[in-house]
Chains A and B, each alone.
Chain A
């Protein structure tokens, strides 16, 4: 039996087509991925992200504990601020990527991937048990009682203040005054919701974390208030194409326990100078020595089928011709033309109207501008390694 969010009936009422996503029955689209994608880029869209996990970490030693467990620097966070961060094992492999919100000086809310909730809890509790009797922290999983929606797109700023009344309880401003990565709380219905200026689309927008009982009213109100501003409900399909255009990683595709944030191109979020944390020595070593492979973003050069996860990546035949004519005498094809990587995510970009993706490739083929080939059903199509984000607003 798949899990459903409190918004399941809302999705059905809006004509959603649902798919299984990590054990959750989630809307993949309502009217169509392309239309929803373009609506988020041009006006606004609302996503149900209630499948994601919410874990609280609290206590006098919470910030010290999280700084030893997560790769980014918690010390940079004032109350009412948040940051993207990673949780690594000793070898530097990624247990999860997440957002940590500082709700109070001793209370942090971790928003984690739906598919990683139990792995994260297991790891956090294990780390907490090693933190020392007299420096204990509380780890509380609220994922079952809490949901969230993402209101994304340039027009989100135009109506967010109509949704929530008065000043925020933390920062004491209006929702539209929040800047990137700030978070505040507002009363809503009989509960309280957290509103953060964060998202996974590259657009302006907000993520709203709410108790389950408030979700339906919240969702309906957002669609109602946003309607004059062109808001549409948007599914996981558009969420995936939007994040790929930005080159944002997705756990299970660009991130795994066998891959480090350095290989994933997320070194910026690993603050090795902040002091000791789990995975630090392995990650420092990788930063110094360069990893053997790296996750890169790429664009297909011309008209061709969209790249997909699992497709093999090769050197570009044209670009490597000279090298081969000298080097390949007497070698077998697999020696002269080896697989240099694999596509981790790929799609047709609705904004750029070409194939885009991310791939895990050999480090010497990871530089921006490198010509590569993607093999699609046995045929080679040229592509170019590009700087992230792949899509930039005009």
Chain B
């Protein structure tokens, strides 16, 4: 069973988002990292880039494949996780904490109607 924190929102494409104080922190879920296995490289968006919800904005590479990451909400890239770029295995070891991908500056209250809560995401990955 994967870890699915209650305080996060989830995209069907396996990103999580934490919305607080006008920013959104984004990463990949425990289920996603387990499916990908050994993450060997991450390509993150540049700071200042403006993203719309659903934009293809990062790439996570395992030994076997490259997978795209989509912005769960729109905003401007505020900060990227430099530690993750240097140590991509953080995405495996600490997907909800040290393995975060990037932070967005939100433009007002984001639309989260398309996102799932922990219960909904658990159902989607068949762990309900």
Contact = CB atoms under 8 A, between A and B. Distances in A.
A22 B121 CA distance: 33
A230 interface: no
A34 B63 contact: yes
Interface in B55-105: 59, 61-64, 66
A348 B37 contact: no
Contact of A305 (B37, B38, B59, B64): B59
Given A305-B43, A305-B66, A308-B66, A34 B38 contact: yes
A304 B43 CA distance: 9
Interface residues of B, number: 11
Question: Chain B's interface: helix, strand, loop or mixed, by majority?
Answer: strand
B128 to A, nearest CB: 22
A306 B37 contact: no
Given A28-B64, A33-B63, A306 B41 contact: yes
Interface residues of A, number: 16
Contact of B40 (A29, A237, A306): A306
A39 to B, nearest CB: 13
Contacts of A28: 64
Contact of B63 (A303, A304, A306, A377): A306
A32 interface: yes
21 contacts: A28-B64, A29-B37, A32-B37, A32-B38, A33-B63, A34-B37, A34-B38, A34-B63, A237-B64, A303-B41, A304-B41, A305-B41, A305-B66, A306-B63, A306-B66, A347-B63, A348-B40, A348-B41, A348-B61, A350-B38, A377-B43
Interface of B: 37-38, 40-41, 43, 59, 61-64, 66
Across the A-B interface, the 6 shortest Cβ-Cβ residue pairs: A348-B40, A34-B38, A33-B63, A305-B41, A32-B37, A348-B63
Given A34-B37, A347-B64, A377-B59, 19 more contacts: A28-B64, A33-B62, A34-B38, A237-B63, A241-B63, A304-B41, A305-B41, A305-B43, A305-B61, A305-B66, A306-B40, A306-B41, A306-B61, A306-B66, A348-B40, A348-B41, A348-B61, A350-B63, A377-B43
